[in-house]
């Protein structure tokens, strides 16, 4: 296995896939050395609750918890939401790039990983990423990344190796009696589809209002919204509930073409 004789770091996304990956490790007698969760500041409440649950479970299983890492601005945490408001912009995915996931997910975890490697005086490590077997296309094509000081980070996709799809992940979590975490993503993610946006509006009006504040504050073209192109969340929210229910069948029509790099399950 690629993790043998190397430090094993887990990029924990807080959703179904990465939770199932930890369950698979437990079943196979694999013990991670480091587990990190990158907090954008914009996760749903159920994700933050699940992080606490899994932190406790990981301490029981392996004696280590989940380290929460964040990207700071001038020594303070503002989060992706605060960054968008300050810069009068939308999340980068709305413009067709993945800068937000790189800055707020990948970079903070890499920073902690390199620090951890220095602490352990290790030159090589393996980073386990929870893409399932149905998401093989999301894998980084290269097998490793070389950092400063000659440190090498190998990429490993256990769920793909085990041929676990989403249903397998759900079953694994159930086997261990854990809460099904649901989808993990920012509440204002441009990858959200019409049905998800309407459910956010109905179930979490406070978060929907904050998402509209990001959209309304952005200095961009008149019709461009959080979902990009000409679709504005404010326009979706203004429609009547009856039409909104019909939109759930049109989820694939207006979503951004670029999948979110933060998505987990």
Predicted confidence (pLDDT) per residue in 197-226, tens digit:
999 999 999 999 999 999 999 987 667 888
Indicate the residue among 142, 175, 208 that finishes a domain: 175
258 vs 94, 134, 192, 262, CA distance in Å? Answer: 9, 17, 11, 12
Q: Is the domain of 51 the same as that of 129?
A: yes
End-to-end CA distance of the chain: 25
Output the six-digit token pair for 252: 């694939």
For residue 262, being part of any structural domain is answered with: no
pLDDT given for residue 199 in this prediction: 93
Q: Is the domain of 229 the same as that of 136?
A: no
Residue 241 pLDDT greater than 70, yes or no: no
For residue 2, being part of any structural domain is answered with: no
Indicate the residue among 145, 175, 205 that finishes a domain: 175
- Return the bridge partners of 129, or none: 11
Confidence of residue 253 (pLDDT cuts 50, 70, 90): very low
C-alpha to C-alpha distance for 195 and 201, rounded to whole angstroms:
10
Output the six-digit token pair for 32: 């991670």
Q: Is the domain of 230 the same as that of 203?
A: yes
Q: What is the mean pLDDT of residues 217-241?
A: 77
Confidence of residue 194 (pLDDT cuts 50, 70, 90): confident
Indicate the residue among 118, 146, 175 that finishes a domain: 175
Q: Is the domain of 53 the same as that of 139?
A: yes
For residue 181, being part of any structural domain is answered with: no
Of 2-6, 156-160, 240-244, which gets the smallest average pLDDT? 240-244
pLDDT given for residue 80 in this prediction: 96
Of 92-101, 182-191, 231-240, which gets the smallest average pLDDT? 231-240
- Return the bridge partners of 153, or none: 125, 145
Q: What is the pLDDT of residues 115-163, one digit of tens each?
A: 999 999 999 999 999 998 887 566 555 676 777 677 899 999 999 999 9
For residue 222, being part of any structural domain is answered with: yes
For residue 255, being part of any structural domain is answered with: no
pLDDT given for residue 147 in this prediction: 75
C-alpha to C-alpha distance for 88 and 113, rounded to whole angstroms:
31
* Domain containing residue 48: CATH number: 3.40.50.620
Q: Is the domain of 128 the same as that of 237?
A: no
pTM of the model: 0.87
C-alpha to C-alpha distance for 83 and 98, rounded to whole angstroms:
15
pLDDT given for residue 247 in this prediction: 44
Specify burial of residue 167 (Cβ count, 10 A radius: 0-12, 13-18, 19+): exposed
Q: Is the domain of 65 the same as that of 162?
A: yes
Q: Is the domain of 238 the same as that of 124?
A: no
Residue 242 pLDDT greater than 90, yes or no: no
Q: What is the mean pLDDT of residues 22-49?
A: 97
Give the CA angle between residues 57, 63, 131 to the nearest 5°.
Answer: 55
Nearest to 215 by CA among 225, 205, 202, 204: 225
Q: Is the domain of 149 the same as that of 202?
A: no
Q: Is the domain of 211 the same as that of 82?
A: no
User: Do 161 and 127 form a contact (C-beta atoms < 8 A)?
Assistant: no
pLDDT given for residue 1 in this prediction: 56
C-alpha to C-alpha distance for 42 and 211, rounded to whole angstroms:
10
Q: Is the domain of 243 the same as that of 112?
A: no
Output the six-digit token pair for 49: 């609750």
pLDDT given for residue 10 in this prediction: 97
Q: Is the domain of 112 the same as that of 231?
A: no
* Domain count across the chain: 2
Output the six-digit token pair for 180: 């099904």
For residue 22, being part of any structural domain is answered with: yes
Of 15-19, 113-117, 193-197, which gets the smallest average pLDDT? 193-197
Q: Is the domain of 47 the same as that of 127?
A: yes
For residue 100, being part of any structural domain is answered with: yes
Residue 229's domain comprises 194-250
Q: What is the pLDDT of residues 64-123, one digit of tens each?
A: 999 999 999 999 999 999 999 999 999 999 988 888 889 999 999 999 999 999 999 999
For residue 264, being part of any structural domain is answered with: no
């Amino acid at each position: 296995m690629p993790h043998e004789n190397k430090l094993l770091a887990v990029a924990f996304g807080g959703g179904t896939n990465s939770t199932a990956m930890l369950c698979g490790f437990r079943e196979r007698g694999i013990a991670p050395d480091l587990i990190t969760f990158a907090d954008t500041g914009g996760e749903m409440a159920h994700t933050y609750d699940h992080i606490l649950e899994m932190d406790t479970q990981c301490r029981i299983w392996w004696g280590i918890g989940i380290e929460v890492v964040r990207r700071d601005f001038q020594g303070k945490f503002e989060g992706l939401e605060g960054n968008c408001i300050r810069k009068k912009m939308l999340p980068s995915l709305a413009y067709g790039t993945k800068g937000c996931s790189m800055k707020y997910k990948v970079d903070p975890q890499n920073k902690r990983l390199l620090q951890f490697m220095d602490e352990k005086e290790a030159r090589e490590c393996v980073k386990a990423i929870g893409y399932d077997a149905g998401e093989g296309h999301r894998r980084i094509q290269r097998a490793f990344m070389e950092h400063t000081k000659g440190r090498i980070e190998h990429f490993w996709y256990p769920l793909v190796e085990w041929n676990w799809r989403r249903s397998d992940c759900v079953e694994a979590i159930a086997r261990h009696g854990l809460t099904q975490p649901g989808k993990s993503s920012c509440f204002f993610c441009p990858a959200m589809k019409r049905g998800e946006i309407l459910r956010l509006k109905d179930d979490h009006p406070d978060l929907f209002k904050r998402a509209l504040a990001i959209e309304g504050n952005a200095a961009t073209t008149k019709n461009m919204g959080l979902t990009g192109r000409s679709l504005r969340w404010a326009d979706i929210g203004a429609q009547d509930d009856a039409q909104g229910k019909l939109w759930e069948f049109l989820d694939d029509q207006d979503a951004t073409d670029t999948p979110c790099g933060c998505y987990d399950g």
